[in-house]
Amino acid sequence: MKRLFLIRHAKSSWGDSERDDFDRPLNKRGKRNGADMAARFARLLLVPDLILSSPAKRAKKTALYMAKGTGYPVASISFDEGLYLGSMACHLRLLQKGFAKDDTLFLVGHNYTITELARYLCGVQIGDMPTCGVVAVEYAGQGGFSAEHGCGKLLFVDFPKNTSVAG
């Protein structure tokens, strides 16, 4: 059985208009939410086999929170440019590659692609993911991961302000 956790980066700062989008850091709320969501994964005793992340500063920091919170080795986080501005097809290729050898993946990325990816894989309408939101997807059967529409089963949706799911 394969499991995918699609994670939108935590809340970032828009305070410096001179700063390039790629270099925007997390703001105070983003840092707090990143640590809180990582703690939820820790309470579930959930440790990923692989963390894939956009290399943008805000996604990278969110991935670091997830790694530290779950005991995943920080040095093993895989950063890929395709997760910054890449298409859904690019995201799907990276997932295919990751699932070829691993069973539990965290993918830390950006909206709008991360929400569209969740909708596509689960074949259900999911609202726009809030910052630091998580969509958990399960793939059963022999082949495990498939990049086809509706191939995954939605396990849960969670986000920092949610007090009733996964934590």
Whether 163 is in a domain gets the answer no
Q: How far apart are CA 147 and CA 75, in angstroms?
A: 28
Whether 60 is in a domain gets the answer yes
In this predicted model, what pLDDT tens digit does every residue of 108-117 receive, in sequence order? 999 999 999 9
The number of folded domains in the chain is 1
* Least confident segment among 4-18, 26-40, 97-111: 4-18
Global model pTM greater than 0.85:
yes
Containing H/E element for 8? strand 2-8
Domain extent for 45:
2-12+23-158
Whether 74 is in a domain gets the answer yes
> How close are the terminal C-alpha atoms of the chain, in Å?
22
AA letter at 15: G
In this predicted model, what pLDDT tens digit does every residue of 81-127 receive, in sequence order? 999 999 999 999 999 999 988 999 999 999 999 999 999 999 999 99
**Contact between 74 and 64 (Cβ < 8 Å):** yes
Among the listed residues 121, 94, 134, the one whose alpha carbon sits nearest the alpha carbon of residue 6: 134
The dihedral sign for the CA sequence 38, 159, 131, 145:
positive
